[in-house]
């Protein structure tokens, strides 16, 4: 991740050894606003797009792909990939992460956090979904290999929040396509993920106090109410209501109408309408 003072440090001098590294021209017209997250995508001198996040003293600049700061630790795309590969080459079940290794992974995880936060603001939900899944994989890897409970908990406490961010990204992308079904599937997966977190930490009795779970349950209800209902779904609801109210004559009529809509053969004389 590049800070304000580092932003232009990698630019070629183009023969001018006195080329200024002052970032003031870059910030012209982009004043800092403490009340708003300010991010943008710009073209980099290497031909690839970058994400920039405005700060009070300058800005962050991040790569869109790979590790946000563009570094390849030990030749790998990320430090997490390095540790995974190292574990696979040895005995995976015996691989251990000490506190120093966990600290390095935490710093790297924060880079991905900044990028998916900026990407969410830019409505680049594909990047958000990718980077949040990456951090969820990070948490799982640390849970499996950290030598200290303190380190495992330091990572895993963010699992509900990151799960919600991933769910929102996938759900909002689906809603932009008017795909209510895919949005509901994503939300159900997110709800299941948070409930699994509560099980893992023996906190199932705290479910009603979990803000992330409450948000997803509320969002699911809103989408369920807003989504278009097909004639078959509407009739199925009417049929259920008639059965619940023990109005079996109405239920029989609705069942016949439902079979017509679904293209099923109607019962012949003497055959039961039930079932």
Q: What is the pLDDT of residues 68-96, one digit of tens each?
A: 999 999 999 999 999 999 999 988 788 99
Digit-coded pLDDT (tens) for 172-182: 999 999 999 99
Residue 163 located in a structural domain: yes
**Domain-terminating residue out of 64, 90, 105:** 64
Do 74 and 137 have their domain in common?
yes
Same domain assignment for residues 111 and 178 = yes
Instruction: Assess whether 181 and 76 both reside in one domain.
Output: yes
Q: Is residue 269 part of a domain?
A: no
In a domain, 171, yes or no: yes
Shared-domain flag, residues 54 and 72: no
Do 72 and 161 reside in the same domain of the chain? yes
Tell me: do 55 and 78 sit in the same domain.
no
Domains identified in the chain, total number = 3
Distance CA 77, CA 74 (A): 9
In this prediction the pTM is: 0.78
| pLDDT tens per residue, range 201-211 | 999 999 999 99
Is the pLDDT at 12 greater than 70? The verdict is: no
* Domain contains 104: yes
Q: Identify whether 267 is part of a domain.
A: no
The pair of structure tokens assigned to 22 is 């002052």
Same domain assignment for residues 174 and 214: yes
Q: Does one domain contain both 97 and 160?
A: yes
> Is position 136 within any domain?
yes
Q: Judge whether 275 lies within some domain.
A: no
If asked whether residues 96 and 74 sit together in one domain, one would say yes
Tokens of 143: 């849970």
Residue (of 105, 103, 209) closest to 160 by Cα position: 209
Q: Do residue 209 and residue 172 come from a single domain?
A: yes
Structural domain boundaries enclosing 109 = 66-226
Instruction: Report the pLDDT value the prediction gives residue 270, as an integer from 0 to 100.
Output: 53
The dihedrals phi and psi of 146, each to the nearest 5 degrees, come to: -65, 140
Other beta carbons within 10 Å of 42: 10
In a domain, 268, yes or no: no
Let me know whether 208 and 97 are in one domain: yes
pLDDT tens by residue, 197-238: 999 999 999 999 999 999 999 999 999 888 776 777 777 778
pLDDT exceeds 50 at position 25:
yes
Q: Are residues 243 and 123 in the same domain?
A: no
Which of 64, 93, 110 terminates a domain? The answer is 64
* CB half-sphere exposure, 97, CA atoms < 13 A: 29
């Amino acid at each position: 991740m590049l800070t304000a003072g580092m932003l232009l440090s990698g630019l070629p001098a183009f023969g001018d050894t006195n080329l200024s590294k002052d970032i003031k021209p870059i910030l012209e017209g982009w004043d800092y606003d403490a009340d708003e997250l300010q991010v943008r995508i710009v073209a980099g001198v290497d031909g690839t797009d970058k994400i920039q996040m405005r700060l009070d003293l300058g800005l962050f600049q991040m790569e869109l792909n790979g590790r946000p700061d563009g570094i390849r630790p030990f030749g790998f795309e990320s430090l997490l990939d390095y540790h995974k590969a190292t574990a696979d080459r040895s005995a995976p079940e015996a691989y251990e992460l000490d506190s120093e290794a966990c600290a390095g992974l935490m710093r790297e995880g924060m880079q991905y956090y900044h990028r998916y936060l900026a990407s969410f603001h830019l409505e680049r939900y594909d990047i958000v979904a990718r980077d949040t899944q990456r951090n969820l994989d990070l948490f799982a890897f640390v849970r499996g290999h950290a030598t200290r409970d303190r380190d495992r908990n330091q990572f895993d406490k963010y699992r509900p929040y990151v799960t919600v961010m991933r769910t929102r990204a996938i759900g909002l992308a689906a809603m932009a396509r008017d795909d209510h079904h895919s949005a509901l599937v994503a939300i159900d997966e997110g709800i299941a993920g948070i409930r699994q977190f509560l099980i893992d930490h023996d906190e199932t009795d705290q479910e009603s106090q979990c803000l992330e779970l409450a948000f997803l349950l509320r969002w699911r209800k809103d989408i369920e109410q807003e989504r278009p209902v097909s004639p078959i779904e509407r009739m199925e609801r009417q049929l259920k209501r008639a059965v619940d109210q023990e109005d079996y004559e109405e239920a029989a009529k609705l069942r016949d109408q439902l079979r017509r809509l679904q293209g099923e053969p109607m019962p012949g004389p003497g055959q039961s309408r039930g079932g």
